[in-house]
Structure 1
Amino acid sequence: MTETLRTLRRAAEARLTEAGVDTPDLDARLLVQHALNLTREQLLFNADSPVTAEQAAAVHALIERRAAREPVSRILGERAFWSLELSLNADTLDPRPDTETIVEAALDALPDRAAPLRILDLGTGTGCILLALLAELPNATALGIDLSPGAVEAATANAARNHLGDRARFRTGNWGDGLAERFDLVVSNPPYIPSRDIASLDPEVREHDPLRALDGGADGLDAYRAIAAQLPGLLKPGGTTALEVGIGQAADVAALLEANGLGVTGIFRDLGGVERCVRGRNDR
């Protein structure tokens, strides 16, 4: 019997269901499209078209990677975030929709989106937060810092890919160490998973996201202590910070900001209702 796109896709869905993948139908569709270079419409309208042995092998190879719990975004090498398409590499965290909460909270604090703002992103990774902000703030410029040269390379490429390279710069560094400039807005999605909880994370996260982008130390708050201590010297008077936080960490992070002289101006929930972002202001 000749294999068709329809039967190939159904077999892919069955394999991912067997492997315990949460969204086998969606993941199978995306991987079939990618392997065969098809649009969604082409996949649907040509469902009864035959596939070659080589095409089937290409699909099965990707499906087996997903069955081994490699995330679809890692297999595709890219992820959609905000209005952007971002490339990933082994040194970058895979951006999640929850992180868009930071972008929303930061934009909500800005009275004039046309102002020539300066933005700092600490632990920039793919550059997702910084680039999403630049996409909404036409006269802003930004600096992204990351400890990993590989992340800096990815962020720089993502800026160019999204036509924002003329307003974004990236460099290696340890949080805000050595920066003399002050910024209107400082954002960060630092590592916040307590070290003891790393082993219990889903394999998509534990085995594929870089450990240093996940591990926040014994209580998950090590990065926030470092960043909060630097914020008074990084923010202009009246400047805003927006920080992503893990489940149950919002109150502790708010307290760290207040202990370093910043006012807390809001705690924002993600689409799942989790307190995901703490926003503060330098009132000095």
Structure 2
Amino acid sequence: MSSLVMFGATGGLGMEVAKGLVTAEGFEPKRSVVRDASSDKAKKLQAMGWTLVEVKDLTDPAALEAVVQGAKVVVSTLSGNDMIPIETSIIHASKKAGVTLFVPSQFGVDYTRWGSAFPFLAGKKAVLDAAEKEGLPTLSVFAGFFSDLIFELFCDFENSKVTWIGDGNDKVTWTRRSDIGYVLAKALADPELSNGGTLGIQGDFQSFNDATKILGDALGKEFTIEYMDPNEAKKQEDELLKNGLKGDLGAFFGSFKLHLMGEPARGNNGCDLSMSFNNYGIELQTLEDVCKSGVYGS
């Protein structure tokens, strides 16, 4: 039986995805590549059922090729500045080892409709281009905004305030990170995706205004909402990005925040998966479920 190999499982997204992905059927063993097998996070993965494989240097081609030998599917939830070169190296090693499907670290907006002009998204597109050049089929997974994390970027919890771009009535997809792994586990058994493609996942579909009310009700708070003109927001986004590309990380993430909030108000439907998602019959957590779960405090 062929194995399933996962990279990046000790990260914030990876640890959540790993919970469900380990339930995938038809793979033995399920191997998680970690830099330190003695770490607390690695031990948590082992407790989930993952077989740990320690690789100190993810830029070592020989080490990568060895760890993906015998694998049918390789999944990455890597992030950070070295994501592109590492995933590109994983692609080369996977192709040489006979891997038949690579799931890159996408998992957010549907870049095929959203676009990849923003540098962070351009990097994800570069990984897919590298896989296509190598001839390795890819499965891109899109889940919209991470409902258990995104409000930390969008909202001022201390002052119970949030600023939306446009009128706040644009609807987008919201999905809990841990739900992604369970759906992906089912999707890997779908013969229609064995040669790659795209998978949309959706836990809920709500407007920014309604999402704010759901969050406030769950926390027992009333958020003050302010609105920003989409064109003015784009000017601010571009200005912050200029500084961000010069090394100012705060400005970079500030620009990305405005980008994520502003594109729906400017007519971009790349975070609307309501017509294209497939949860494979799994009941995912709604936005209300997530907000009441305690991830944003009380």
TM over 0.5: no
**Highest RCO, 1 vs 2 (Cα 8 Å, sep ≥ 6):** 2
Bigger radius of gyration among the two? 1
Give the TM-score, by structure 2 length: 0.36
